[in-house]
Amino acid sequence: HEEQLIFERGRDAACGVDLPAPDSVATRLGGMERNGSVGLPGLSEPEVVRHFVRLSQKNYAIDAGFYPLGSCTMKHNPRLNEKMARLPGFSDVHPLQPTSTVPGALELMSELARWLMELTGMPAVAMSPKAGAHGELCGLMAIRAALEARGEAGTRTRVLVPESAHGTNPATAAACGFTVDAIPATEDGRVDLAAFEAKLGDDVAGIMLTNPNTCGLFERDIRKIADAVHEHGGYFYCDGANFNAIVGRVKPGDLGVDAMHINLHKTFSTPHGGGGPGAGPVVLSEALAPFAPLPYVTSTGGELKLVEDEQSSDADPFGRMVAFHGQMGMFVRALSYMMSHGSDGLRQVAEDAVLNANYVLASLKDVMTASFEGPCMHEALFDDRFLKGTGVETLDFAKAMIDEGYHPMTVYFPLVVHGAMLIEPTETESKETLDEFIGCMADLARSAKAGDKARFENAPELTPRRRLDETTAARKPVLRWTPPAPAQAAE
Amino acid sequence: HEEQLIFERGRDAACGVDLPAPDSVATRLGGMERNGSVGLPGLSEPEVVRHFVRLSQKNYAIDAGFYPLGSCTMKHNPRLNEKMARLPGFSDVHPLQPTSTVPGALELMSELARWLMELTGMPAVAMSPKAGAHGELCGLMAIRAALEARGEAGTRTRVLVPESAHGTNPATAAACGFTVDAIPATEDGRVDLAAFEAKLGDDVAGIMLTNPNTCGLFERDIRKIADAVHEHGGYFYCDGANFNAIVGRVKPGDLGVDAMHINLHKTFSTPHGGGGPGAGPVVLSEALAPFAPLPYVTSTGGELKLVEDEQSSDADPFGRMVAFHGQMGMFVRALSYMMSHGSDGLRQVAEDAVLNANYVLASLKDVMTASFEGPCMHEALFDDRFLKGTGVETLDFAKAMIDEGYHPMTVYFPLVVHGAMLIEPTETESKETLDEFIGCMADLARSAKAGDKARFENAPELTPRRRLDETTAARKPVLRWTPPAPAQAAE
Amino acid sequence: MRYLPLTPDDRQQMLGVIGAKSMDDLFVDVPEAARPANGKFDEAFDLPPHQGELEVDRALSAMAAKNTSAGSVPFFVGAGAYKHHVPASVDHLIQRSEFLTSYTPYQPEISQGTLQYLFEFQTQVALLTGMDVANASMYDGSTACSEAVQMAHRVTRRNKAVLSGNLHPHYRAVIETTSKFAGDAVEALEANVSGKEDIASQIDGDTSCVVVQYPDFFGLIGDLADIAAAAHAQGALLIVAIPEIVSMGALRTPGDMGADIVVAEGQSIGNALNYGGPYVGLFATRQKYVRQMPGRLCGETEDVDGKRGYVLTLSTREQHIRREKATSNICTNSGLCCLAFTIHLALLGEKGFTRLAALNHESACKLAGALEAVSGVELLTPAFFNEFTIRTPKPAAEVIEALADKGVLGGVPASRLMPGNDAVSDLIIVAATEVNTDQDRAAYAAALTEVLS
Amino acid sequence: MRYLPLTPDDRQQMLGVIGAKSMDDLFVDVPEAARPANGKFDEAFDLPPHQGELEVDRALSAMAAKNTSAGSVPFFVGAGAYKHHVPASVDHLIQRSEFLTSYTPYQPEISQGTLQYLFEFQTQVALLTGMDVANASMYDGSTACSEAVQMAHRVTRRNKAVLSGNLHPHYRAVIETTSKFAGDAVEALEANVSGKEDIASQIDGDTSCVVVQYPDFFGLIGDLADIAAAAHAQGALLIVAIPEIVSMGALRTPGDMGADIVVAEGQSIGNALNYGGPYVGLFATRQKYVRQMPGRLCGETEDVDGKRGYVLTLSTREQHIRREKATSNICTNSGLCCLAFTIHLALLGEKGFTRLAALNHESACKLAGALEAVSGVELLTPAFFNEFTIRTPKPAAEVIEALADKGVLGGVPASRLMPGNDAVSDLIIVAATEVNTDQDRAAYAAALTEVLS
């Protein structure tokens, strides 16, 4: 069955809800009544349910299979967290109802903040950013605000970003008015310390560094880098996307970090939901804490207070990043996750995530090409050298995995190696699953080397759709359904 | 991926729950401690979730596609009903907590009973039967109890059951100590009135009749049959499996019925759940009402009371059919369904169900063979005459439908026609869906007639499993997993 | 109406294809007597019209809010149904459309999901009870027990059942009702909270089976080996009914002690209290009796490609094939409830299930200690799992009501289930599970002290 | 730990394969300064150990129970988030594993489910707003609004935004914050409950865009055609922010009136209040600006077999390709919230959506009538959709607290969002929706009468 669009299936007279007819009250719309129909299709509830159930069946998901997507931390999403987030006391409260009627909401935010600060060893956290990239923006704004307070915002305009960084890092720095200066990587996949030091200067606002980095490696020199940045008057923004590798074992505060966002939808397992919603609280050092944006929750003598405006603030908030207070629904899920694990469980999370990645690395390094020597953190990075001369590209290899029942790893990222394949198993996969996966990858690698190009070029073949024409999609974008022209409709 | 059994996947040390360690309290098990382990496999939560998600993906379901399974009323299952059934006030109350703490539960049962009595035009209802067949048993027990009260239980031992009846009818009569006497059907698919009348006599306890019957037809002579049975001192049990065809339009009480079970999981849409749980309340006539089993809810002056034992009963309950009070969870769903539809919506349910069936019948009668003339009720019955000489059997035809994305219709039932194909579309299918289905059936019929046997013999080909060897399964039943023998385990 | 896809236009078009003028043409066979005057259907039914979700939700939520839910108070009610914590993933998974909205797996090619979990369920039940095989579930524990008696009659070709006096009175009533109409004999002993009863002497050459409960109705546990031997000596079967399946994580299995059929209420694993239903009846027996079992069975087999798969099997026992000669009239199992059972037990596993049992026992031991300490209260159950019986110096029914007024649901007065039996009028059957906290137990003891003072 | 499948045995075996002696070997690159003394990790974190479901459920439920939920009281709070009834099937469907636990659809072959609903979502948003195209959602209405300003700067190559004084103060604050750091200029007018403001005179040749809210912060609705004309005359764009998308079922669309970019808060359709998030930002614009849009876009295309399918497209606008030259740093959309939006709106359809809007307006009209009748209360909003502003003879913040004490959540005091603005200290912004009953409205009027007397 091909699944039509709802617009192709609906009928004017059908409706999937029953609403009472309005009484004939005189309207007060001031003459602004809508002209004509909206154009929405009418469908009964059974049709809507079936449509979306069928659509869902065209998706891959972590609940249904292994999802070793590097840098995305596709771990198990506990259903307890979903249940907790749906408690009416959390889901059915309004951000602007009197704070006297929501003490439990403030308590939840405050308690989550406590966990985040304790786990990162940082003294403050800005809760409102709605996603990782939003958290980066928050961190850089705090840095810029701190520079402004020092009277150096006009002169310190350069931000150092390693070549291997996520695209959000340079994009965020630019959005915050900084210029971006790339730092090269060394042969062993880490920041080139000499190159980095050479770039330091009075115009440097700070550095944005991911740790563990996007090559799946811990930046050995991170303390030195932090100290050097600080010595030169800059700040250290740490991209926390890979916090899952060290949670419960290493406190970023001990590494000299000034700001770090935490993807609740990665490390703390709030579901990815096909692309969101996420949540990106940002922990801040003493130096940056005063500039944290509005709103925030404070505690005085055990009493929690929501500070929503500058007038009520004792600090120097740099402004506001969102309406309301952040991703409450995600906060509940994350706290439920944290409480379930406890500090012992979270440390085990990091250890098992790292163990799983190293197990994959060790088991596949002879059949694929590991990009760097030594143990990795929670991601194993391979490149396409093992495919040399086979005619099989990284993309083909990834697509062939789909026919084997796996979601592909992250490909072509990080940019510092050729044809990158970044595998992040996460801690919620069993050894059995990894063994099956390793077996499959080894088989594919052998197959490629043996010249079975067809297995790769034609892949995937067992999916609801095969490879799609992305070029035409971008060249002549069709971004919405439009009714067929009358002539066609009459056919 | 082949999905292993949990027993093949589990590890001793793994566990999908976290329970606190018991304190060291002295046990009081009186020396009855378990010897040795249970033998259950250990799995983490992510593994369990993935296992059952993957299993679910091997199932067909009404939410995912058309399910024209005759006599099963596979209609849309509204999620509102699921939500209501999970309200803690309904789902988290114990059947034996003081009735003073559950007035809302008694109210719900009483309100559902009121709807059932009003819709059927009957003065009483026994709520506790747990399924349709259980309801049949309840009805026949009530009949037997009434006969006993008349002193005729010993003599009236024969129950008349049409050939076309569901298997549960004769099985129930037998379980209740009656002998079963089959009534033949006429050419037009209904009870042979003459044959029926010839069978009446002093030893007849009653008749069990399905109406609309299993051929999808309304028993035109039902009133005459009821009167004749009554004249001869017997009772009329009506199998209510097909109530969906007449709900809101015809009251069984007006047809002379003495007892009729109602499958809440058919007409009132509580989900089939892969085979249960169902619920089968039984409406009763004045004659049978006093014998309704324990427990039941009565109302005196607006006050509801739960009667659980003979001592407290003003009537003559024939006994008890279940521990506790029946399928409360199903009651909530059914009442939610009824309230949502109202009397107008329920009548429309019946009309649309009948309309959809007749539309299928009219659209396919030229390419398949309709078993009987004239309009049908909510099911369209075909037989295999159109397949004559094609080498394609009804079963093959059904299996070929699977590859087209449909659940097969009911096949080889009722027994009164050869190679029966019983199609029940229900009212929750759209005309578009029916048109697609009709097109597919016509195509299959043409294909069979054109000699494309392979399309049928090899079907299904696109399913998680192809045709299974049921003969060996029955001959050498393997009904549970057993650990592999040590030698194999060592391999 | 939101659930009905046909539009007025659709209906007109379809009537045209059918060749009918109106809907009434399709109901032409309905006798005049069953048609409302002037076709006014609305007047024929004293029922309200359709309502939106919001209105239905409000009305039913208001009804639900009138009930005291188990989770909202210190809760100790058992006697056949138990309050346990069910992991959130269980309810999530059973609501998946592919499980919730599928039919009985008669088409195995597109029902392997249901069939495989039934196979896993059957294996779990066999392991828990210590038996060879189990079926794919029955309506609940009580009907399973009655079906077991019928099965024993078929196996032994006798028709007298002997019931322990400490069998759950509801289970006894269901057996008696079924037997009465089937023409079978039942001999039931008197209830005895001490557990002392001479069943052996009731067994004779006409006896098809002995039915005992384990732990018994009063919570008492005792060795069943002697009863098994006595039954077997007379050619009768031993049927053991388990009201609280969690007990199998701590206790010797009936299979170990010689039971021939074990039935159980499976509600405790995976299923909510639901005011009594739906629940899930477990049914296990020895391999040699498998063809006399009632209910659905799932079996392993292969498909035409040689791949392992599952089918419903031995259906020649069943009503849709055998009609009046079937082993039971049963036609439904408790599908979704056994799925919940299977998932919850899979989550528990060996470690979790045995620990859950230990926690239940611990909770009951602590509670027994707390209640024993209340002046005037006597603990009557020397050996128990998670349920026991106390004697109170006031009538038990009044005590329970008084406790309820204080917000404690303290158990079941035996008199509720055995009305007219004066010997039990001062007995309360008290259950404790892993959900009870120290505060709950303290609240019970305090409230009981007040009530009895 | 229930979520971790590795057993101690597994870990040992795996370390062996890796060639590591212990877990510490894998963390060898962590500097000494970041290792706890003596490797005592537990002491390094002042956090509790792991807990079972039951314990976590209890603790969080207790926290939640301290809050007054909207559904439990007469509820009239709006100002950017609204209490509506969401059909049960919406939450059921968005919890399907395949939606809930999938990633961004970067692998379109196995993500057609997500991609197709995004395409449907984009079409719905375009229809509702009267625009050509929409993106696949933003974080929320406020960030969408700020992104719209940035986009207008790119389109016009200017960098000054003019904001209506009746734009939601939070939206204004987000724009101001973003602009401050990006080095852009913002001119914001004073709030004016009458809606009378001279925006046109603020627009000049440096102005990239004018931002107005519709209905405005005080609930007022008015024609935007003149503002659109004034903006266009200066080469500036008109950005319209819609806080309550349900209004589009009753009101003329911004697209109709000349808007160039329309942003909206989509929470009202399909999504719970969630104390402020997650919500879903809607973003629509004219076809010609599509390559300057921020955020994800889903487009139609074909696969190698010629079958219609969907992909994420125009990603060269985005950060993962363009890095510092991207149109936005955004990397997430509000996926599951836009799925909820799409499903709810599919259920509503034309008939349901317009009726829902009519019911909301009716509810507000009835409430306005009831509150106007309270002595001392002045209704300040002559034309409104489902929200309006009243003036009370006592300070609004005190009135709202006093109402809350009486169990009525009566709206938002304007002073909460505009602290320090004395002109608004006696204004309450009141919202009404389809969930409010006659009783709710009567309770509000009665409580307000008491509070003001």
CATH of the domain at D440: 3.90.1150.10
Q: Under an 8 A CB cutoff, do B405 and A1 touch?
A: yes
Max Cα–Cα distance, chain D, nearest Å: 82
Whether D330 and chain A come into contact, CB under 8 Å, resolves to yes
Reduced to 3 states (helix: H, G, I; strand: E, B; else coil), residue B381 is strand
Q: In whole angstroms, what is the distance from residue C239 CA to residue C262 CA?
A: 6
Whether residues D255 and D393 share a domain: the answer is no
Cβ contacts of A315 within 8 Å, gap of 6 or more: A289, A290, A291, A292
Amino acid letter, residue D346: A
Q: Residue B311 burial (CB < 10 Å; 0-12/13-18/19+)?
A: exposed
Residues D183-200: tens digit of each pLDDT? 999 999 999 999 999 999
- Residue C447 sits in the same domain as residue C330: no
Nearest-CA residue of chain D relative to C85?
A: D54
Assess whether C412 and C340 both reside in one domain: no
The three-class DSSP label of residue C384 is strand
Contact A90 D409 (CB under 8 A): no
Predicted local confidence at residue C42, as pLDDT: 83
Cα–Cα distance between D75 and D71 in angstroms, integer? 7
Q: Is B1 on the interface with A (CB under 8 A)?
A: yes
Domains in chain C, number: 2
Confidence class for position B301, pLDDT limits 50, 70, 90: confident
DSSP A128: -
Q: How far is D435 from chain B (nearest CA, A)?
A: 17
Chains touching chain B, criterion 3+ CB pairs below 8 Å? A, C, D
- Asked whether the predicted pLDDT for residue B488 surpasses 80, the reply is no
Q: Residue C185's closest CA among C138, C155, C153?
A: C153
Measured between CA atoms, how close is B1 to chain A, in angstroms? 7
The alpha helices in A262-407, defined as continuous H runs, are 328-364, 394-403
- 8 A C-beta contact, residue B23 and residue C362: yes
Asked if the structure places residue C11 within a domain, the reply is no
Q: Give A265-304 pLDDT, tens digit per residue.
A: 999 999 999 999 999 999 999 999 999 999 999 998 889 9
Question: Are residues C1 and A78, on separate chains, in Cβ contact within 8 Å?
Answer: no
Cross-strand bridge partners of residue B407: none
Q: What is the mean pLDDT of chain A?
A: 95
Mean pLDDT score, B474-480:
96
Q: Please tell me the distance in Å from A65's CA to the nearest CA on chain B.
A: 7
Contact status of B41 with chain A (Cβ, < 8 Å): no
- CA C358 from chain centre, in angstroms, equals 22
B291: closest CA among B243, B223, B235?
Answer: B235
Summarised one tens digit per residue, pLDDT across range D80-115 is 999 999 999 999 999 999 999 999 999 999 999 999
Q: Does the distance separating the beta carbons of A78 and C88 come in below 8 Å?
A: yes
Q: What is the mean pLDDT of residues B144-158?
A: 96
- CA-to-CA distance for C246 and C129, rounded, in angstroms? 11
pLDDT digits (tens, 9 = 90+) for D407-441: 999 999 999 999 999 999 999 999 999 999 999 99
Q: Is C100 helix (H, G, I), strand (E, B) or coil?
A: helix
| Predicted local confidence at residue A312, as pLDDT | 92
Give the best residue of A9, A44, A82 to mutate against chain C (max C CB count within 10 A): A44
Is C13 inside any structural domain? Answer: no
**Record: contact B57-A44, CB cut-off 8 A:** no
Is A298 buried (19+), middle (13-18) or exposed (0-12) by CB count in 10 A?
Answer: middle
At A328 the pLDDT is 98
pLDDT band at A490 (very low <50, low <70, confident <90, very high): very low
Q: Is the pLDDT of residue A489 over 50?
A: no
Both C361 and C234 in a single domain?
no
Q: Is residue D32 part of a domain?
A: no
Percent with pLDDT over 70 in chain C: 100
Q: Are residues D302 and D428 in the same domain?
A: no
Burial annotation D342-369 (CB, 10 A radius, 16+ → b, else e): bbbbbbbbbbbbbbbbbbbbbbbbbbbe
**Is residue B21 within 8 angstroms of chain D, CB to CB?**
no
Which one of C344, C365, C395 terminates a domain? C344
Find the helix or strand (DSSP H, E) in which C300 lies: strand C298-302
- Which residues are CB-contacts of B302 (< 8 A; sequence separation ≥ 6)? none
CA distances from C31 to A153, A408, B220, C250, D286 (A): 90, 65, 7, 62, 63
Task: Kindly tell me if the per-residue pLDDT of A104 is higher than 60.
Answer: yes
Any residues with CB less than 8 A from the CB of D405 and at least 6 apart, and which? none
pLDDT for A338-387, tens place per residue? 999 999 999 999 999 999 999 999 999 999 999 999 999 999 999 999 99
Q: In the listed set C280, C314, C344, which residue is the last one of a domain according to the structure?
A: C344
Residues 6+ apart with CB under 8 A from D234: D203, D204, D205, D207
Is there a single domain that holds both residue D292 and residue D382?
A: no
- Segment D250-265 shows an average pLDDT of 98
What band does A24 get if pLDDT is binned at 50, 70 and 90?
Answer: confident
Can you say whether residue C274 is alpha, beta or left, with left for phi > 0 and alpha for psi between -120 and 50 degrees?
Answer: left
Q: Which of D91, D97, D100 to mutate to test the interface with B (most CBs of B within 10 A)?
A: D97
Contact A405 B9 (CB under 8 A): no
Percent of chain A exceeding pLDDT 70 equals: 99
Q: Kindly determine whether residue C96 and residue D92, on different chains, have CB atoms separated by under 8 Å.
A: no
For residues C295 and C405, state if they share a domain. no
Using pLDDT thresholds of 50, 70 and 90, give the confidence band for residue B491: very low
Please state, in angstroms and rounded to a whole number, the distance separating the CA atoms of residues A327 and C440. Answer: 35
Query: Nearest C-alpha of chain C: how many angstroms from A323?
Result: 29
Q: Would the pLDDT of B486 be above 80?
A: no
Task: Over range D376-391, report the average pLDDT.
Answer: 98
What number of C-beta contacts closer than 8 Å exist between B and C?
710
Nearest by CB to residue A53, choosing from B54, B64, B405, is B64
Q: For residue A461, what are its two tokens? A: 């073949």
The residues near A279 (Cβ < 8 Å, ≥ 6 apart) are: A129, A130, A131, A263, A264, A265, A270, A326, A327, A330, A331, A334, D277, D278
Mean pLDDT along residues B210-214: 95
Q: At residue B447, what is the residue type?
A: S
Q: Tell me, what CATH number does C245's domain have? A: 3.40.640.10
For residue D270, give every residue at least 6 positions away whose Cβ sits within 8 Å of its Cβ, in sequence order, or none: D86, D90, D337, D339, D340, D341, D342, D343, D344, D345
User: Token pair of B490, please?
Assistant: 């060592």
A-contacting residues in D 5-64 (Cβ below 8 Å): 5-6, 10-11, 13-15, 17-20, 23, 25-31, 33-35, 41-42, 44-53, 55-57, 59-64
Contact assignment for A115 to D47 by CB distance below 8 Å: yes
Determine contact: C207 vs chain B, CB below 8 A.
no
Label the pairing between strands C378-379 and C387-391: antiparallel
Compute the nearest-CA separation of A409 from chain C (Å): 27
Residue in this structure with the two tokens 């002995």, named with its chain if needed: C210
Q: Which domain covers residue D383, as residue numbers?
A: 70-84+350-452
Which pLDDT score is estimated for B487? 56
Is C397 contained in some domain?
Answer: yes
* Span of A122-136, C34-48, C386-400 with lowest mean pLDDT: C34-48
Residues of A in contact with C53 (CB under 8 A): 17-18
**In angstroms, how far apart are the furthest CA atoms of chain B?**
78
Residue A488 has pLDDT above 60, yes or no: no
Question: What pLDDT score does D331 carry?
Answer: 78
What is the pLDDT, as a whole number, of residue C321? 77
D420 CB near a chain B CB, below 8 Å? no
C74-100 pLDDT, tens digit per residue, is 999 999 999 999 999 999 999 999 999
Helix (H) or strand (E) holding C310: strand C308-312
In a domain, D216, yes or no: yes
Q: How confident is the model at residue B489, as a pLDDT? A: 47
Q: Is C421 exposed, middle or buried (0-12, 13-18, 19+ CB in 10 A)?
A: middle
Whole-angstrom distance, CA of residue A4 vs CA of residue A173? 42
Instruction: Count Cα neighbours of A257 within 13 Å in the Cβ-side half-sphere.
Output: 34
Q: What is the pLDDT of residue C41?
A: 87
Q: Which residues pair with C310 in a beta bridge?
A: C300
Write the single-letter amino acid at A474: A
Residue D55 forms part of a structural domain: no
Mean residue pLDDT across chain D:
96
CB-CB neighbours of B200 under 10 Å: 18
Give the whole-angstrom CA distance, residue D292 versus residue D147. Answer: 11
Check whether residue D78 and residue D105 sit in a common domain. no
Question: Measured between CB atoms, which of D1, D10, D97 is closest to B18?
Answer: D1
Asked if B17 and D2 come within 8 Å (Cβ–Cβ), the reply is: yes
D176 CB neighbour count, 10 Å cutoff:
19
C96 and C172: one domain? yes
**pLDDT tens readout for residues C321-336:** 777 888 778 878 899 9
Nearest to B168 by CA among B155, B180, B183, B153: B180
Residue at which a domain ends, from C344, C359, C386: C344
User: Mean pLDDT of all residues in chain C?
Assistant: 96
Chain A hits for D120, Cβ within 8 Å: 5-7, 481
Average pLDDT of every residue of chain B: 95
Indicate whether C264 and C354 sit together in one domain.
Answer: no
* Number of alpha helices (DSSP H) and beta strands (DSSP E) in chain B: 15, 13
In a domain, C56, yes or no: no
Nearest-Cα distance to chain D for C237, in Å, is 41
CB A70 within 8 A of CB A43: no
Distance in angstroms between the alpha carbons of the first and the last residue of chain C? 59
| A102, two tokens | 């929501």
Residues D108 and D251 in one domain: yes
Q: Encode pLDDT of C341-373 as tens digits.
A: 999 999 999 999 999 999 999 999 999 999 999
- Cβ neighbours around D62 below 10 Å, total: 12
pLDDT tens, B42-79?
999 999 999 999 999 999 999 999 999 999 999 999 99
Which strand ranges, in their side-by-side order, compose the sheet holding B369-370? B369-370, B380-383, B421-423, B410-411
Question: Is C45 inside any structural domain?
Answer: no
Q: Which chain A residue has the Cα nearest residue D398?
A: A98
Which chains form contacts with chain D, at 3 or more CB pairs under 8 Å?
A, B, C
The reply to whether D175 and D252 lie within a common domain is yes
ipTM value for the complex: 0.97
Chains that touch A (3 or more CB pairs under 8 A): B, C, D
Task: Judge contact between A313 and A292, C-beta under 8 A.
Answer: no
Task: Evaluate the omega torsion of the peptide bond into residue A477 and state whether it is cis, within 30 degrees of 0.
Answer: no
- Ordered domains of chain B (ranges, CATH): 80-338 (3.40.640.10), 342-463 (3.90.1150.10)
> Which of chain B's residues have a Cβ under 8 Å away from the Cβ of C308?
2
